[in-house]
Amino acid sequence: MLADFYHRELRDLRISVTDRCNFRCTYCMPFDEYVWIDREKLLTFEEITRLTRLFVQLGVTKVRLTGGEPLLRSQLEGLITQLGEVPGLSDICLTTNASRLVEKATSLRAAGLSRINISLDTLDGEKFKRIAKRDKLSEVLAGIFAAKASGFKPIKINMVVERGVNDDEIISMIEFCREHELSLRFIEYMDVGNANTWSSSKIVSKKEILERISNFYPTQDGGREKASDPAVQYAFSDRRGDIGFIASVTEPFCTNCTRARLTADGKFVTCLFSNDGLDLKTILRGGATDEVVTELITSAWQKRSDRYSDERFEALNSSEGYDPRLQKKIEMITLGG
């Protein structure tokens, strides 16, 4: 089994299929103008499938398609069908802002998509416009219901909680998700990329959220489904649904991180906070054999010693403190969240 410097296996692959997005979420990519990757520099579906096959041979069992907004990549269903033919790949998941799910949910399911995670930070239309800089809440809600109607289950809802922005909606989001049988996950605001204005004061921690909801919705700690899962699950005491927490800032989980990433322009990246990666696209287009590509991936993973969130945690708790701007990072839209 392929393992890195800290004995972490390579198990999951997140693939950014495009850096383009129709939203401009303040915590992710707030710039109105952005230099997008040229289309010919994006990996083709055939290149993605070939690389996925090699990653699966090295131990990957689960792939997540993300971006940018993955549903902006035309004919994504065609990629899902191709990935469905990769022997040994058991799980093909998608993370989306749901704005195009009304048109796409049925065909994605028919193509073989296993699961969907949807980002939703607020149920208030005006606030949605401030966060995503687009007036699209009704499309997103319709997209969520279309995914449900197409038979996706469970549907996970990702809510990035930002102090002073949407932390007043923690309870209403729980109620909405319980009513509609959606599995809500609170995500601590992270210092991804270079474009947002992250500061530690904007984080609402897992601990604080649990304290705030305890009088309304008592919960029981259910732990992680798998040791390598980013989310810790909690069941509501009345057994009507559950919630999860991705507490990367206050309870980092680098020790069990088995995730690799493929950027939209074909770089193999070993951490969400990396500033560069191994340019597999150029290697593929240069005519490299599967053996050569496999060797390069193997050697990059064996050298991997990333533990960014652990280091941030240590810095935040030290006398020096932590400055996210000291390290340049690949933007999350390119890297795949």
User: Scanning the structure block, which residue is given the tokens 């590509």?
Assistant: 293
Residues forming beta bridges with residue 62, ordered by sequence position: 12, 91
Q: Taking CB under 6 A as the rule, does residue 158 contact ligand SAM?
A: yes
The partner in contact with residue 158, picked from ligand SF4, ligand SAM, none with C-beta cut-offs of 5 to 8 angstroms by kind, is: ligand SAM
Q: Would you say 280 and 268 are in contact if contact means Cβ atoms under 8 Å apart?
A: yes
Sheet order of strands, 62-66 included:
219-223, 232-236, 242-246, 183-188, 155-161, 115-119, 91-96, 62-66, 12-16, 259-262, 267-269, 278-279
Contacts with ligand SF4 in 62-101 (CB under 6 A)?
67-69, 97
Going by C-alpha positions, the residue among 119, 40, 24, 112 that lies closest to residue 331 is 24
Which option in ligand SAM, ligand SF4, none does residue 189 bind, with CB closer than 5 to 8 A by kind?
Answer: ligand SAM
Q: Which of residues 25-64 bind ligand SAM (CB under 6 A)?
A: 27-28
Cα 213–chain centre separation: 25
**Nearer Cβ to ligand SAM, position 119 or 258?**
119
Write out the H or E segment, with its range, that includes residue 311: helix 308-316
CA–CA–CA angle 58, 59, 63 (5° rounding): 110
Q: Which of 161, 195, 257, 330 binds ligand SF4 (CB under 6 A)?
A: 257
**Cα–Cα distance between 300 and 240 in angstroms, integer?**
44
Scanning 34-42, 52-60, 252-260, 316-324 for contacts with ligand SF4 by CB under 6 A, the matching segment is 252-260
Instruction: List the structure tokens of 71.
Output: 């549903």
Sole binder of ligand SF4 in the list 21, 54, 92, 113 (CB under 6 A): 21
The least CB distance from residue 307 to ligand SF4, in Å, is 5
- Find the shortest distance in angstroms from Cβ 271 to ligand SAM: 15
Q: 239, exposed or middle or buried, with CB in 10 Å at 0-12, 13-18, 19+?
A: exposed
Contact flag: residue 196 with ligand SAM (CB under 6 A): yes
What is the Cα–Cα distance from 237 to 218, expressed in whole angstroms?
Answer: 6
Exactly one of 189, 217, 234, 273 binds ligand SAM (CB under 6 A); that residue is 189
For residue 195, state whether it binds ligand SF4 (rule: CB under 6 A): no
CB atoms within 10 A of CB 135: 11
Partner whose binding site includes residue 120, from ligand SF4, ligand SAM, none (CB under 5 to 8 Å by kind) = none
Q: Which residue in the set 42, 111, 182, 190 belongs to the binding site for ligand SAM (CB under 6 A)? A: 190
Q: Using CB under 6 A, which of 119, 233, 274, 334 touches ligand SAM?
A: 119
Kindly list the residues in this chain that would bind ligand SAM in the complex (CB under 6 A): 21, 27-28, 66-67, 69, 95-97, 119, 158, 160, 187, 189-190, 192, 196, 332, 337
Kindly list the residues in this chain that would bind ligand SF4 in the complex (CB under 6 A): 21, 23-25, 28-29, 67-69, 97, 119, 253-254, 257, 259, 271-273, 306-309, 333
